């Protein structure tokens, strides 16, 4: 019952009580009066009826003022005290109640604030003790996080229900989590959106039988097509609980698309070589047999058959050489060459020459824009081998390293002051294994050069008495994107990345409908948009920002932050709010590309936003153009604020954050507002629980009953 209704009922009750007392008094007096006196009294009342009504209204007004003062002093302050005490106990331990009201309540406020101070101090002490006690576990988790984030092998861990519990950056990159807006990899997401459900079920079946047999389930290796179209080699190993029961899978994924294509090309080459040489060999054989069968053949015929043999042999030789060159390219494609910054390669070469050979080495800076495709270990070994031979055979003790771009290749020069190395010596060295003092690798320098598809030669300047060995190296096809610096609101509160959540091993209640599920167990996508203006019928979206919440955790690494080309001008007022100008969105994808990606990102989650009716209206009007209709339930933090804090009139995002103790950072950017809204929403969930609002259905019904519920019922009835 609202405070206003309580006030009206209290005032009406008191007024009725007074009227009842006056009526009883009149009845008592009238019963003792004689008939003549009673008629006089009634005539006086009729004559002064207007005055009686005026006095009654004046009395009612005075009574209202008295009741209102009583409410302000002894009803509203205790209610506010209860709400703010609950806020301290649940969502914002740092909140303190402002003193006010009568002296008795002020002393209660002081006591509550003192208790809150002691409680916060105790929580911090207990938190410190818990953190200290968990230091070893935390260290192990941080080690896991560091190892997983730096692994080049793509790794996923999923539960028996197919929910992703762990992934690393390599998996996200392989499966297009960043390149394809919206992503496919994320905590709590279904692995069946990445790999075929039948393949994963087959892996579970094989590993499950192995676990039930002798307790040592073997790994399973399969090949599948990922959602992005890549051919992926999947290794599956079991995750067993203490009872040796299969609870999940560890999946390693390797993109073998190029390897498969190279294999197919090799097979085609072999077939063409076989079929192409069969005719030539048959012709040569027929010509030779004819010459042997007819030794008395005249000179002209013999010359004709000899010419046929020569022509077919030359053609056959050309085919074999061409096949050899092409197959060499296939062999090189199997070597694992990785992108490496030229500056880093020079630094590695300089360290190797100085620390392992004991010679002086200098290196010129190659800059930050020269990327190579190399096997760094073999290359360092090869250059160090050359330097060791020059040191031992020619007495060279000082070298210079230079790296420069030259068309589609880069020139790596190992130079020294002295005589030029002759080609025969260089060729002899290049054919020997790269062994130095019992170490090194068994391959030759020639193998390393061929592995990189490059060339090796020596050149000198007689006048300057300097020489160098030059090695051509391949330049990377595309410059690897630098890791973006995290925005201020991206910085996670925890020290480790949030790419795993083993609480997801708990089985979910798949049979429960949306409204019957607890708010704590649902996954959410908190989103916000920036637009060209405020009219959804004519304006367009210019930016999408979204972040996911899984198991009550805001996953700051799993975000969608995308500018959108609106195809129309952006109003100056809007630019003043979000800072997105027409120049920034030029060349960005359109809403027809971004909205389907957003739909994939928020699939199987509850949508959350602040004043979300505004954003949803923009998206609803794009359904026909994009073919995307968002059908999942929606929650609005604006309406939920009216549920948990009905006494406050200001339900703006900043005001809500201030009351709940959430720092406001990155405001008026789509992603910044989405993250801020997500943090506010998590606080609201705690306050909702104190009011008995624990399921999604409870929250939607409570929001619908608020005085702020101005959006359509269809927004809250979607399933």
HEC string for 589-602: CCHHHHHHHHHHHC
| Residues in contact with 673: Cβ distance below 8 Å, sequence separation at least 6, in sequence order | 528, 545, 610, 653, 666, 667
Rounded to 5°, angle at Cα 557 from 141 and 193: 100
From the options 3.40.50.300, 3.40.50.11690, 3.30.1490.20, 3.30.565.10, give the CATH code of 338-474.
Answer: 3.30.565.10
**Cα four-point dihedral sign 570, 576, 579, 584:** positive
CATH architecture of 259-334: Orthogonal Bundle (1.10)
pLDDT of 357 higher than 80: yes
Mean pLDDT over each residue of the chain, to the nearest integer: 78
pLDDT of 207 higher than 90: no
**Tokens in use for 685?**
């969930």
What pLDDT score was predicted for residue 536?
87
Residues 426/419, Cβ–Cβ less than 8 Å? no
> Is pLDDT larger for residue 74 or for residue 584?
584
Half-sphere exposure of 575 (CA within 13 A, CB side): 9
Residues in the chain: 719
Residues 255/266, Cβ–Cβ less than 8 Å? no
What b/e readout covers 597-612, taking b as 16+ CB neighbours within 10 angstroms? bbbbbbbebbbbbbbb
What pLDDT score was predicted for residue 482?
47
What pLDDT score was predicted for residue 325?
59
CA–CA gap between residue 451 and residue 168 (Å, rounded)? 30
Chain centre distance of CA 94: 31
pLDDT of 511 higher than 50: no
pLDDT of 43 higher than 70: yes
**Tokens in use for 126?**
């207990």
From the options 3.40.630.10, 3.30.420.10, 3.30.1330.80, 3.40.50.2300, give the CATH code of 509-717.
Answer: 3.30.420.10
Please confirm, yes or no, whether 668 is among the known catalytic residues.
Answer: yes
> Is pLDDT larger for residue 72 or for residue 453?
453
Instruction: Name which of 419, 418, 411 is nearest 346 in CA terms.
Output: 411
**Cα four-point dihedral sign 181, 187, 189, 193:** positive
Indicate the pLDDT class of residue 218, thresholds 50, 70 and 90.
Answer: low
pLDDT of 220 higher than 60: yes
What pLDDT score was predicted for residue 140?
73
pLDDT of 485 higher than 50: no
Q: What is the pLDDT of residues 629-675, one digit of tens each?
A: 998 899 999 999 988 888 788 888 888 888 888 877 766 688 989 99
| Residues in contact with 175: Cβ distance below 8 Å, sequence separation at least 6, in sequence order | 154, 184, 185, 194, 226, 227, 228, 253
What pLDDT score was predicted for residue 215?
45
Indicate the pLDDT class of residue 162, thresholds 50, 70 and 90.
Answer: confident
What pLDDT score was predicted for residue 28?
75
| Residues in contact with 357: Cβ distance below 8 Å, sequence separation at least 6, in sequence order | 384, 387, 388, 391
Residues 149/169, Cβ–Cβ less than 8 Å? yes
- Cβ count near 331 (within 10 Å): 13
Q: What is the pLDDT of residues 589-613, one digit of tens each?
A: 999 999 998 998 888 899 999 988 8
Most confident residue range from 142-146, 484-488, 644-648 = 644-648
**Tokens in use for 29?**
């007096």
pLDDT of 367 higher than 50: yes
What pLDDT score was predicted for residue 483?
40
pLDDT of 490 higher than 50: no
What pLDDT score was predicted for residue 566?
93
Indicate the pLDDT class of residue 713, thresholds 50, 70 and 90.
Answer: very low
Average pLDDT on 56-69 reads 75
Indicate the pLDDT class of residue 562, thresholds 50, 70 and 90.
Answer: very high
Consecutive H or E run containing 165: strand 164-167
Average pLDDT on 372-400 reads 88
Look at 368-382, 394-408, 524-538, 672-686 and tell me which has the smallest mean pLDDT. Answer: 368-382
* N-to-C CA span, the chain: 30
Indicate the pLDDT class of residue 461, thresholds 50, 70 and 90.
Answer: confident
Look at 350-364, 403-417, 428-442 and tell me which has the smallest mean pLDDT. Answer: 428-442
pLDDT of 269 higher than 70: no
> Is pLDDT larger for residue 219 or for residue 194?
194
> Is pLDDT larger for residue 328 or for residue 233?
233
Q: Where along the chain do the CATH 3.30.420.10 domains lie?
A: 509-717
CA–CA gap between residue 531 and residue 542 (Å, rounded)? 5
Q: Where along the chain do the CATH 1.10.287 domains lie?
A: 259-334
Taking domain 139-255, whether its CATH number is 3.40.50.2300 is answered by no
Indicate the pLDDT class of residue 7, thresholds 50, 70 and 90.
Answer: low
Most confident residue range from 40-44, 303-307, 317-321 = 303-307
pLDDT of 265 higher than 80: no
**DSSP letters of 459-492?**
EEETTTTEEEEEEEEEBPSSPPPPPPPPPGGG--
Q: Where along the chain do the CATH 3.30.565.10 domains lie?
A: 338-474
CA–CA gap between residue 51 and residue 45 (Å, rounded)? 9
**DSSP letters of 484-551?**
PPPPGGG--SSSS---B-GGGGSPP-TTS-GGGSBTTT--EEEEEEEESSS-TTT--EEEEEEEEEET
**DSSP letters of 207-238?**
HHHHHHHHS-PPPEEEEEE-TTS-EEEEEEEE
What pLDDT score was predicted for residue 664?
76
Q: What is the pLDDT of residues 109-119, one digit of tens each?
A: 788 888 888 88
Most confident residue range from 458-467, 484-493, 603-612 = 603-612
CA–CA gap between residue 88 and residue 103 (Å, rounded)? 22
Look at 106-110, 580-584, 650-654 and tell me which has the smallest mean pLDDT. Answer: 106-110
């Amino acid at each position: 019952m609202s405070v206003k209704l309580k006030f009206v009922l209290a005032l009406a009750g008191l007024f009725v009580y007074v009227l009842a007392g006056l009526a009883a008094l009149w009845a008592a007096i009238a019963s003792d009066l004689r008939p003549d006196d009673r008629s006089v009294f009634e005539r006086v009342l009729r004559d002064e009826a207007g005055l009686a009504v005026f006095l009654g209204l004046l009395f009612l007004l005075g009574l209202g003022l008295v009741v209102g003062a009583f409410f302000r002093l002894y009803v509203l302050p205790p209610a506010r005290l209860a709400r703010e005490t609950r806020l301290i106990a649940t969502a914002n331990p740092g909140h303190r109640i402002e003193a006010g009201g009568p002296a008795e309540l002020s002393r209660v406020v002081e006591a509550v604030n003192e208790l809150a101070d002691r409680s916060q101090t105790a929580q911090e002490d207990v938190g410190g003790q818990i953190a200290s006690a968990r230091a070893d576990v935390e260290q192990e988790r941080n080690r896991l996080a560091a190892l997983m984030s730096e692994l080049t092998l793509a790794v996923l861990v999923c539960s028996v229900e197919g929910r992703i519990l762990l992934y690393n950056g390599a998996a996200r990159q392989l499966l297009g989590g960043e390149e394809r807006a919206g992503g496919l990899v994320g905590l709590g997401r279904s692995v069946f959106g990445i790999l075929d459900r039948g393949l994963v079920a087959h892996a579970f079946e094989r590993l499950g039988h192995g676990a039930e047999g002798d307790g040592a389930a073997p790994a399973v290796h399969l090949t599948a097509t990922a959602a992005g179209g890549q051919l992926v080699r999947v290794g599956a190993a079991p995750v067993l609980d203490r009872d040796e029961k299969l609870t999940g899978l560890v999946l390693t994924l390797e993109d073998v698309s190029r390897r498969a294509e190279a294999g197919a090309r090799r097979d085609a080459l072999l077939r063409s070589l076989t079929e192409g040489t069969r005719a030539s060999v048959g012709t040569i054989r027929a010509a030779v047999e004819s010459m042997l069968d007819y030794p008395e053949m005249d000179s002209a015929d013999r010359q004709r058959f000899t010419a046929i043999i020569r022509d077919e042999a030359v053609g056959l030789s050309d085919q074999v050489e061409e096949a050899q060159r092409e197959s060499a390219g296939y062999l090189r494609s199997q070597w694992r060459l990785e992108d490496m910054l030229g500056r880093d390669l020079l630094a590695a070469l300089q360290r190797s020459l100085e620390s392992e050979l004991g010679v002086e080495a200098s290196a010129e800076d190659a800059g930050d824009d020269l990327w190579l495709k190399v096997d760094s270990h073999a290359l360092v070994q090869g250059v160090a081998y050359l330097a060791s031979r020059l040191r031992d055979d020619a007495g060279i003790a000082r070298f210079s390293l230079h790296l420069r771009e030259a068309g589609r290749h880069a020139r790596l020069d190992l130079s020294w002051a002295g005589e030029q190395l002759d080609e025969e010596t260089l060729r002899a060295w290049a054919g020997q294994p790269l062994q130095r003092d019992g170490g090194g690798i068994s391959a030759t320098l020639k193998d390393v050069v061929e592995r990189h598809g490059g060339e090796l030669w020596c050149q000198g300047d007689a006048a300057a008495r300097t020489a160098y060995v030059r090695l051509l190296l391949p330049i990377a096809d595309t410059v690897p994107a630098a890791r973006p610096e995290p925005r201020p609101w991206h910085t996670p509160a925890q020290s480790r990345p949030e790419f795993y959540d083993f609480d997801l091993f708990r089985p979910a209640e798949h049979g429960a409908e949306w409204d019957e599920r607890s708010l704590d167990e649902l996954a959410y996508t908190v989103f916000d948009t920036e637009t060209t203006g405020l009219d959804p019928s004519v304006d367009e979206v210019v930016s999408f920002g979204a972040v996911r919440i899984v198991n009550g955790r805001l996953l700051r690494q799993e975000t969608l932050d995308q500018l959108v080309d609106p195809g129309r001008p952006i109003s100056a007022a809007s630019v003043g709010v979000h800072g997105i100008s027409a120049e920034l969105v030029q060349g960005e994808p359109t809403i027809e590309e971004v909205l389907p990606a957003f739909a994939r990102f928020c699939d199987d989650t509850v949508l959350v936003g602040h004043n979300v009716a505004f954003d949803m209206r923009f998206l609803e009007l794009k359904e026909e153009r994009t073919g995307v209709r968002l059908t999942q339930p929606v929650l609005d933090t604006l309406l939920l604020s009216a549920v948990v804090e009905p006494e406050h009139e200001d339900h703006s995002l900043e005001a809500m954050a201030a009351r709940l103790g959430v720092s406001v950072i990155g405001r008026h950017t789509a992603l910044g507002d989405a993250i801020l809204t997500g943090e506010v929403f998590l606080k609201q969930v705690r306050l909702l629980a104190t009011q008995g609002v624990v399921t999604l259905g409870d929250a939607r019904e409570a929001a619908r009953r608020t005085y702020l519920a101005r959006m359509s019922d269809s927004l809250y009835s979607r399933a």
